[in-house]
Amino acid sequence: MPHVITQSCCSDASCVYACPVNCIHPTPDEPDFHTAQMLYVDPVECVDCGACVSACPVDAIKPHTKLTAAEDVFTTLNADFYATPRPRPVLAPVVPPLQVRAGDLRVAIVGSGPAAMYAAEEVLTIPGARVRIYEKLTQPYGLARYGVAPDHQRTRGVTRQFDQITADPRLSMRLGVEVGSDVTHDDLLNEHHAVIYAVGASTDRRLDIPGIDLPGVTSATDFVAWYNGHPDHAGRSFDLSHRRAVVIGNGNVALDVARILTIEPDLLAGTAIVPAALEALRHSAIEEVVVVGRRGIEQSAFTVPELVGLCSTPGVDVVVRDEDLRMLPGSDPRSAILRAAPRGAGHRRIALEYLLSPTAIRGRSAATGVEFVHNELIAAADGSVRVKSSGRERVIDAGLVLTSIGYRGRPVAGLPFDEDTATVPHEGGRVTRGVYVTGWIKRGPTGFIGTNKSCAQETVRSLVDDYNAGLL
Q: Residue 135 in contact with residue 173, Cβ under 8 Å?
A: yes
Alpha-carbon distance of 268 to 277, in angstroms, equals 10
pLDDT at 1: 57
Mean pLDDT by 10 residues, the chain (472 residues): 91 94 93 94 94 96 94 95 89 82 90 98 95 97 96 95 97 97 96 97 94 97 96 92 98 98 96 96 98 97 96 96 94 94 89 98 97 93 87 97 96 95 97 97 95 96 96 94
Alpha-carbon distance of 352 to 105, in angstroms, equals 51
Pick from 324, 322, 326, 251: nearest CA to 291: 251
| Global confidence as pTM | 0.94
Plot region of 3 (φ>0 → left; ψ -120 to 50 → alpha; else → beta): beta
Strands, DSSP E only, in 177-269?
194-197, 203-204, 217-219, 244-248
Query: Where does 58-157 have alpha helices with state H?
Result: 73-80, 114-123, 142-146, 153-156
pLDDT at 111: 98
What is the CATH class of 3-82?
alpha beta
Q: Residue 28 in contact with residue 13, Cβ under 8 Å?
A: yes
Bridge partners of 196, per DSSP, are 109, 436
- Looking at residue 423, what DSSP letter applies? B
CATH 3.50.50.60 fits 206-403, yes or no: yes
Pick from 394, 450, 406, 444: nearest CA to 301: 406
Instruction: Assign domain 106-202+409-469 one CATH number from 3.40.50.720, 3.20.20.70, 3.40.190.10, 3.40.640.10.
Output: 3.40.50.720
Strands, DSSP E only, in 15-86?
24-25, 40-41, 61-63
Alpha-carbon distance of 395 to 295, in angstroms, equals 17
Alpha-carbon distance of 341 to 320, in angstroms, equals 10
Q: Where are the domains of the chain?
A: 3-82, 106-202+409-469, 206-403
- Count of alpha carbons within 13 Å of 142, Cβ hemisphere only? 23
**CATH topology of 3-82 equal to that of 206-403?**
no
C-alpha distance from residue 145 to each of 157, 259, 273 (Å) = 10, 18, 11
